Amino acid sequence: MTAERPRPVLPSVVLETERLRLRAFIEDDIDDVYAACNDPGLQSWLPLPRPGCPYTRTDAEQWCREIAPGIRTGGEGQQWAVTSAQDGRLVGAVGLMRVLWPAMNSEIGYWAAPWARGLGHTAEAVVAVSRWALDRGFQRLEIKAATGNTGSRRVAEKAGFTLEGVERSAMPLHEGRTDLAVYGLVPADLYDGRAARG
């Protein structure tokens, strides 16, 4: 019987853009994570912590203290707290998820805090993470967004991802299921003018 090879672990890095600082989640983020993840607008498209369950302060504590750092140390991806470079407040989250190491593919997931929506922060953060991942050798990045979630789909498009198709009835919500629009970004997109510039 062959032993399973350990998955690579991404380095813990801070990414900076003109307006944002992307860093690991910390204890001080718990209140903002709890407030953001309880927002009805977010909950309508991201059934956190899972369909049919309300988001509690314990969920926020576990995310900041255990789950987000564990995703990186377990080789499953990496999560960043998106913060304002001006005042340091949490404005959202972005992460590499479900990394397929043999293929060097990953999905990018994100959410925006309700007090920071409509300012372009999420697209700016997605551009930073996608460029960083492609520079590290990833060959394909995906974003999956509910077809009716126009805000999330706009982020994918502004970040230079290309709509590739729809996965039907692919994700459960708190009530019912939704189709997912699938967007992709590959290294060649950086050179043919389709991808947004960071």
- pLDDT tens digits, one per residue of 29-42: 999 999 999 999 99
The CATH number of residue 64's host domain is 3.40.630.30
Flag whether 195 is in a domain.
Answer: no
User: To which residue do tokens 């007090």 refer?
Assistant: 115
CA distance 36 to 31: 9
- pLDDT by residue for the chain (198 residues), tens digit each? 556 667 899 999 999 999 999 999 999 999 999 999 999 999 999 999 999 999 999 999 999 999 999 999 999 999 999 999 999 999 999 999 999 999 999 999 999 999 999 999 999 999 999 999 999 999 999 999 999 999 999 999 999 999 999 999 999 999 999 999 999 999 999 876 555 554
Torsion region of 184: left, alpha or beta (phi above 0 gives left; psi -120 to 50 gives alpha): beta
Cα–Cα nearest to 123, from 46, 191, 183? 183
Does a structural domain hold residue 160?
Answer: yes
Q: Are 33 and 100 in contact (CB under 8 A)?
A: no
| pLDDT of the residue at 1 | 52
CA distance 68 to 76: 10
Domain that holds residue 79: 15-190
For residue 59, what pLDDT is reported? 98
- Whether omega for the bond prior to residue 6 falls within 30 degrees of 0, making it cis, is no
Residue 157 within a domain: yes
Number of domains in the chain: 1
Is 67 part of any domain?
yes
Q: What is the pLDDT of residue 3?
A: 60
80 inside domain = yes
92 vs 109: CA distance, rounded Å: 11
